[in-house]
Amino acid sequence: MGILLLLTAVIFEIAFAIYCIATKQNHKKLKNWIRIAVFIVFAILTVSSVIVWSFSWVMLAILLFLLAVYGTVSLILKKKNIKQYKTSTIVWKSIMMILIFVFVLSPVIIFPQYQSPKVTGEYEVATATDTFIDKSRIEDFSDKGDNRIVNVEFWYPKNTDGTYPLLVFSHGAYGIKTSNSSTYTELASHGYIVVSIDHPYHSFYTRSEDGIVTMISPDFKNEVENTNKGLYSNEERYNIIQKWMKLRTDDMNFVIDTILTKAKSDNDPIYQHINTEKIGVFGHSMGGAASVLLGRERDDVSAVVNIDAPFFSELIYNKADDNFMASSKAYTTPLFNIYSDDVWRQLNRTPVYVANKLNNKQFEGAYTTHFKGAKHLSLTDLPLFSPILANILQGGKADIDKYYCIETENELILKFFDFELKGIGHFAPKETY
């Protein structure tokens, strides 16, 4: 929609400029009527939901409104065209308007309106946010001595009875808690309570209930970038990874423990509808790695989904040969791995994926699926929310259809949790989708 509108604006400005040049007139009155008409059409398209209103349309709406007001005032005052016609002026104004339209339409192009992935469950889904304060931890990323805060969002069945399994999600590096909203919605529609965590200073940004916004830590961002560039020694890399995992799992443990406590004492319907005996964890990228670790450490976690992540928790640094090796301890929690091409091709050749190898006997019972043609961010909602940003961040466009990818992923995750937490059906995913 954004690109179509921009092309329309560019074609109009060029065509109108050519018309003015050919007739050697400014045609100010005609342009004022066109400005008014364009705003009316925009308003009609918005009211009729052809244009789905969101923050990305604000700048365009303001521009069209101001142009319409200017045109209306000019027509009412019947301003005469006292400015002498100049070709250079016509060309300059046309160029300026094109640049202005590029600017105001950039949010619409970067964040286009899109059709939400299908939701197949019977329950209507509601959401709620909360901020938990961990009084046992001081925030390491700040020198203020404040306690660590963790912002969360719930997706849950609305106006229902009974209790439902709890699923806890952890986003990837630079991610946000809404990174897989379509997955949470699909799960909640089938009778799950999903809580997604913002890891402050690891997430791109997070907003607490009191309105305080926390942006990603530059130090953390540099660590991730330098690790990906191979600028650290293996020992340094291992220590950094363990630091990341500790922060992530500390947050996840704190959130789970807080929710379990609230389920006993808080009258909020969200907590009262949680089945505390059925808990699953899942995450994307770094969040997936933390989920695998939580599945090993917590006895009350009954199922884990790892979305495109190395098993950081299963790595052992061997100082003698300066390399990584996999843990020899069996992993007993039911595990489902989902891989994109970006990770799949690294399983047998990148040291930090040594524990992910398909022939690792410690993970004999794990399910593993590969989405052929998918890139790392194909397994999140970002390619829907912002295809341009997804392509930039992951180094190109994925070959897989974005709706097929995310809807199939959501279906598989639902079936896995249904099988492991509810005892519903049989789970036998294909090796490749």
Per-residue pLDDT of the chain (433 residues; tens, 9 = 90+): 788 899 999 999 999 999 999 999 888 889 999 999 999 999 999 999 888 888 899 999 999 999 999 999 988 887 655 567 789 899 999 999 999 999 999 999 999 989 999 999 999 999 999 999 999 999 999 988 999 999 999 999 998 988 999 999 999 999 999 999 999 999 999 999 999 999 999 999 999 999 999 999 999 999 999 999 999 999 999 999 999 999 999 999 999 999 999 999 888 999 999 999 999 999 999 999 999 999 999 999 999 999 999 999 999 999 999 999 999 999 999 999 999 999 999 998 899 999 999 999 999 999 999 999 999 999 999 999 999 999 999 999 999 999 999 999 999 999 999 999 999 999 999 999 9
Name the strand (E) or helix (H) holding 275. strand 274-284
- The 3-class SS string of 310-351 reads CCHHHEEEECCCCEEEECCCCCCCCEEEEECHHHHCCCCCCH
Full-model pTM: 0.89
Are 97 and 187 in the same domain? no
Are 99 and 144 in the same domain? no
Report how far residue 382's alpha carbon sits from residue 179's, in angstroms, rounded to the nearest whole number.
7
Report how far residue 309's alpha carbon sits from residue 44's, in angstroms, rounded to the nearest whole number.
46
- Asked if 147 contacts 174 with a C-beta cutoff of 8 angstroms, the reply is no
Strand segments, DSSP code E, in 139-267 are 147-157, 164-170, 193-198, 205-207, 213-215
Single-letter code of the amino acid located at 147:
N
Single-letter code of the amino acid located at 88:
S
Are 298 and 367 in the same domain? yes
Alpha carbon separation from 26 to 17, 29, 66, 72 (Å, rounded): 9, 9, 20, 17
The boundaries of the domain holding residue 378 are: 125-422
Sequence-distant (≥ 6) Cβ neighbours of residue 216 within 8 angstroms: 174, 201, 202, 203, 204, 205
Residue 232: both structure tokens together: 């650290």
Are 305 and 402 in the same domain? yes
Residue 208: both structure tokens together: 């607490």
Are 311 and 418 in the same domain? yes
Q: β-pairing, 193-198 with 301-307? A: unpaired
- Asked if 184 contacts 169 with a C-beta cutoff of 8 angstroms, the reply is yes
Three-state DSSP state, 306: strand
430 belongs to a structural domain:
no
Residue the block writes with tokens 């926390």: 214
Query: Domain of 199: which CATH number?
Result: 3.40.50.1820
Are 266 and 361 in the same domain? yes
Residue the block writes with tokens 């995750």: 413
Nearest Cα residue to 334 out of 431, 423, 430, 242? 423
Sequence-distant (≥ 6) Cβ neighbours of residue 329 within 8 angstroms: 362
Q: 432: which DSSP letter? A: B
Residue at which a domain ends, from 110, 144, 165: 110
Phi–psi pair at 147, nearest 5 degrees: -70, 155
Residue 421: both structure tokens together: 């937490």
Report how far residue 235's alpha carbon sits from residue 226's, in angstroms, rounded to the nearest whole number.
14
Phi–psi pair at 429, nearest 5 degrees: -65, 155
Report how far residue 292's alpha carbon sits from residue 112's, in angstroms, rounded to the nearest whole number.
34
- Asked if 385 contacts 346 with a C-beta cutoff of 8 angstroms, the reply is no
Residue at which a domain ends, from 110, 135, 166: 110
C-alpha 5: how far from its chain's center?
26
In our burial notation (b when 16+ CB lie closer than 10 A, e otherwise), range 31-42 reads: bbebbbebbeeb
Are 179 and 241 in the same domain? yes
- Asked if 150 contacts 141 with a C-beta cutoff of 8 angstroms, the reply is no
Report how far residue 172's alpha carbon sits from residue 310's, in angstroms, rounded to the nearest whole number.
12
Phi–psi pair at 368, nearest 5 degrees: -135, 130
Are 225 and 85 in the same domain? no
Residue 195: exposed, middle, or buried by beta-carbon count in 10 A (0-12, 13-18, 19+)?
buried
182 belongs to a structural domain:
yes
117 belongs to a structural domain:
no
Number of domains in the chain: 2
Q: 418: which DSSP letter? A: I
Are 106 and 129 in the same domain? no
